[in-house]
Amino acid sequence: MSDIDTQRRQFLKTSAGAAAIAIAPGMMLYQTAHGDTAEASSKVRWGMLIDTAQCKEGCNDCVTACNKENGLSGKTGTTDSQWIRKIEIKDISNGHTVSLPMMCQHCEHPPCVDVCPTNASFKRADGIVLVDRHLCIGCRYCMMACPYKARSFVHETLEDQNPDVPRGKGTVEACSLCVHRIDKGQIPACAEACQNKAILFGDLNDANSEIHKKVRSVATVQIRADLQLNPGVRYQGL
Amino acid sequence: MVDLSKLYSMNRLYYVLLAIGGLSVLGGAYAVFMMEHHGHIISGMNNQIVWGMPHVFAIFLIVAASGVLNVASIGSVFGKAVYKARAPLASLLSLAMLAGGLAVLMLDLGRPDRIIVAATNYNPTSVFAWNVVLYSGMFSLVIVYLWTMMERRMNPFNKAAGLAVFIWRFVLTTGTGLIFAFLTARQAYGSALLPPMFIVLSFAWGLAVFHVVQKVIYAWNEKALDPAILQRTKNLLGVFIVGSLYMVATYHFTNMYFAQQKGFELFILRDGGIYPNLFWWGYVVFGNVLPLLLIYFPGLGKTKCVMVASMLVVLGAFALLYVFIIGGQAYPLNIFPGYEVSSTFADGQIASYTPSIYEFLLGFGGLAIAFLITTVSVRVLNFMPQDKPYISD
């Protein structure tokens, strides 16, 4: 082998090594950032069953947990984001009062997704309705279309964001069912925080899941069922 | 001898007008910059009233832009010479108002810098996305239509282009009405009556704007409009006003018949404070009844009356849009029918809204864009209606 050949071989080896060293951390960071890249399965339909009999008037634990988890300020001014809120309802005919949490109902046929001009509002295969913050142009048409007033518009610059839950001024946002937790095998923050176990989270399609069994055995309602949106969040005791 | 001093003063007036328009556009640009920098927190809009004053301006401009083409269509499609002579001016006004309206709509977005996303990511089920195509298509079609009128060699295509514009603007205003008609959950919207209502409203608003601009252009050129022509177009305006009043009345009557809509109708028509006031005084009395009197009352109906009537129709349009867009959102969404509700998110409450100065600056900026396009175009090109010495139809 000639001297030049040896030198060339040496050069190629060194270059390949240097390239590997240069790329490796990037690849690792990419993996860390993207986590488990397994796609959401359409066999799953994530949902919630809210037992209003267990939901206490004046208790705000789910709201507080949501704010903490998603980095919301917790303020309730007209321009502040509220992903989940407690609603007190009173039956006009008999005065019966009920307290319940209201958030994105993760409809099977979400009007927000239908009206979004840029596909920023979308429904994941497992039924979670989300907003792609990179595509949202801030037209607020989804807010007009949502029958549950579940969405908020970010009116001002945000600080102290949760890295798992990126948000952005000028875009629309709503309950994500704590998708970042679900993808790690955890349950949404509100369901975890509820001391009375009023919020049952699970896969509506899984015949062995508690939520599936419960929905089959007790009377539940979907809010504004007349609109036939088939929300993934159901209520018991209404 | 030509009186040059008069020419100079006209020239000066032109630049003064340009300066006024330019300053208003700058004011709009300032509002956009501020809203970009601080966010919509500096506007009066909030999570309950998500569309505010900019949308009132934008929708007026877009609806009127479609309606003003009626003048062109009556000429090109139905062959009426009086209207055909006015088709170039009508087309110009349409382009100008469309540009102004779209600018306001786009610059009010939370992320106007991402407007290109609206072209690269297209959701075929969204009326907004359809409107992106409808508005840009309208713009191009009207330019072609103008070309067929102003370039002699293109004249043979004028009829075809006129027909295309005629069809397109119906679809376009339908699209504008559908933005609201598709909102099933909101009491104020979600009615199939809205697209035809917007079409009829567009006729009246467009013609009213046309009357005002035509009058100014005639005055600028020191010409007087033939009373016979004014007589025809003012009668048409009268018919359009009656037509739009009918559509609005039908919309409210059908709503009132549905028990579930009664609360909303009482709010808009009786109990809602500013909204019923704007509706009855602003829209019905000043925007319709008074103009009708000015047009049809014996002894009235002269040039000045028609001008005042037209301006009142425009004011009435703003009143109606304010009631429709903002009043429609102010009334609480009925999430739990049959229940009284309360929450930290204004459930069950009438939402409050006070438009901020930035919203007005943006809205007037849009008007100013339309004004500037019209003023410059009328100055550099010949948009003065050229009537034949006799009226053939």
Min CA distance, B134 vs chain A (Å)? 13
Among left, alpha and beta (phi > 0; psi -120 to 50; other), residue B52 is beta
Q: What is the pLDDT of residue B227?
A: 87
Share of chain B above pLDDT 90, in %: 85
pLDDT score of A57 more than 70 = yes
The token pair at B200 is 């009829």
From A70, A78, A29, select the one nearest A160 (Cα to Cα).
A70
Name the phi and psi angles at B186, rounded to 5: -90, 135
What residue of B is the nearest CA neighbor of A103?
Answer: B345
* Other beta carbons within 10 Å of A43: 10
Q: How far apart are CA B328 and CA B113, in angstroms?
A: 29
Q: What is the pLDDT of residue A174?
A: 98
Q: What is the pLDDT of residue A238?
A: 87
Min CA distance, B262 vs chain A (Å)? 16
Contacts of B335 in chain A (CB under 8 A): 87, 102, 147-149, 223-224
Q: How far apart are CA B50 and CA B28, in angstroms?
A: 20
Sorting pLDDT into bands at 50, 70 and 90, what band is B393? low
Q: What is the pLDDT of residue B1?
A: 58
* Other beta carbons within 10 Å of B393: 10
Are B344 and A144 in contact (CB < 8 Å)?
Answer: no
Query: Count of A–B CB contacts within 8 Å?
Result: 166
Average pLDDT of every residue of chain B: 94
Are A115 and B117 in contact (CB < 8 Å)?
Answer: no
Q: How far apart are CA B231 and CA B148, in angstroms?
A: 28
Contacts of B340 in chain A (CB under 8 A): 89-90, 92
Q: Is residue B54 part of a domain?
A: no
Contacts of B352 in chain A (CB under 8 A): 78
Q: Residue B349 belongs to what H/E stretch?
A: none
Per DSSP (E only), the strands in A94-156 are 97-103, 121-123, 129-131, 152-153
Task: Name the residue facing A147 among B335, B339, B352 (closest C-beta).
Answer: B335
Sorting pLDDT into bands at 50, 70 and 90, what band is B143? very high
With a cut of 0.95, is the ipTM above it?
no
Are A137 and B182 in contact (CB < 8 Å)?
Answer: no
Q: Is residue B391 part of a domain?
A: no
Q: What is the pLDDT of residue A8?
A: 87
Are B185 and A152 in contact (CB < 8 Å)?
Answer: no
pLDDT score of A69 more than 70 = yes
Sorting pLDDT into bands at 50, 70 and 90, what band is B79? confident
Are A89 and B336 in contact (CB < 8 Å)?
Answer: yes
Q: How far apart are CA B41 and CA A80, in angstroms?
A: 9
Q: Is residue B360 part of a domain?
A: no
Q: What is the pLDDT of residue A36?
A: 56
pLDDT tens digits along B264-293: 999 999 999 999 999 999 999 999 999 999
* Other beta carbons within 10 Å of B258: 11
Per DSSP (E only), the strands in chain A are 46-51, 84-91, 97-103, 121-123, 129-131, 152-153, 172-173, 199-203, 220-221, 233-236
Task: Name the residue facing A155 among B39, B121, B344 (closest C-beta).
Answer: B39
> Mutation test of the interface with chain B: which of A55, A57, A79, A173, choosing the one with the most B Cβ atoms within 10 A?
A79
Lowest mean pLDDT, pick from A123-137, B212-226, B320-334: B212-226
Mean pLDDT of B138-151: 96
Task: Name the residue facing B39 among A92, A116, A156 (closest C-beta).
Answer: A156
Name the phi and psi angles at A137, rounded to 5: -100, 0
Q: Is residue B251 part of a domain?
A: yes
The token pair at B245 is 């009043």
Are B117 and A137 in contact (CB < 8 Å)?
Answer: yes
Sorting pLDDT into bands at 50, 70 and 90, what band is B42? very high
Q: How far apart are CA A134 and CA A152, in angstroms?
A: 16
Q: What is the pLDDT of residue A24?
A: 79
Sorting pLDDT into bands at 50, 70 and 90, what band is B139? very high
Lowest mean pLDDT, pick from A54-63, A218-227, B16-25, B384-393: B384-393
- Give the structural domain span for B249: 186-207+223-332
- In this structure, the strands spanning A199-203 and A220-221 are unpaired
Answer with the residue of higher pLDDT: B209 or A4.
B209
pLDDT tens digits along B151-208: 999 999 999 999 999 999 999 999 999 999 999 899 999 999 999 999 999 999 999 9
Contacts of B46 in chain A (CB under 8 A): 78-79, 155
Task: Name the residue facing B41 among A79, A146, A171 (closest C-beta).
Answer: A79
Are A87 and B123 in contact (CB < 8 Å)?
Answer: no
Q: Is residue B270 part of a domain?
A: yes
Q: Is residue B228 part of a domain?
A: yes
Widest pairwise Cα distance in chain B? 81
Answer with the residue of higher pLDDT: B136 or A27.
B136
Q: What is the pLDDT of residue A225?
A: 96
Q: How far apart are CA B326 and CA B315, in angstroms?
A: 16
Q: Is residue B288 part of a domain?
A: yes
> Mutation test of the interface with chain B: which of A96, A121, A149, choosing the one with the most B Cβ atoms within 10 A?
A149
Q: How far apart are CA B48 and CA B132, in angstroms?
A: 25
Q: Which residues neighbour A77 within 8 Å (Cβ) at sequence distance 6 or greater?
A: none
pLDDT tens digits along A119-169: 999 999 999 999 999 999 999 999 999 999 999 999 999 988 999 999 999
pLDDT tens digits along A89-110: 999 999 999 999 999 999 999 9
Q: Which residues neighbour B213 within 8 Å (Cβ) at sequence distance 6 or greater?
A: B89, B93, B374
Mean pLDDT of B138-149: 96
Mean pLDDT of A42-70: 96
Q: What is the pLDDT of residue B262?
A: 94
pLDDT tens digits along B46-76: 999 999 999 999 999 999 999 999 999 998 8
Q: What is the pLDDT of residue A37?
A: 57
Contacts of B182 in chain A (CB under 8 A): 114-115, 145
From B165, B149, B161, B8, select the one nearest B85 (Cα to Cα).
B149
The token pair at B211 is 């009357």
Average pLDDT of every residue of chain A: 93
Task: Name the residue facing A143 among B50, B184, B339 (closest C-beta).
Answer: B50
For residue B364, how many C-alpha atoms fall within 13 Å in the half-sphere facing its CB?
15
Contact between B176 and B166 under an 8 Å Cβ cutoff? The reply is: no
Are B183 and A136 in contact (CB < 8 Å)?
Answer: no
Sorting pLDDT into bands at 50, 70 and 90, what band is A30? low
Are B110 and A82 in contact (CB < 8 Å)?
Answer: no
Are B125 and A156 in contact (CB < 8 Å)?
Answer: no
Q: What is the pLDDT of residue A18?
A: 86
Are A137 and B48 in contact (CB < 8 Å)?
Answer: no
Share of chain A above pLDDT 70, in %: 95
Q: Is residue B101 part of a domain?
A: no
Total tally of structural domains belonging to chain B: 1
Mean pLDDT of A193-213: 97
What residue of A is the nearest CA neighbor of B325?
Answer: A144
Q: Residue B341 belongs to what H/E stretch?
A: strand B339-343
Lookup result for tokens 């919203």 = B359
- In this structure, the strands spanning A233-236 and A46-51 are parallel
Q: What is the pLDDT of residue B3?
A: 75
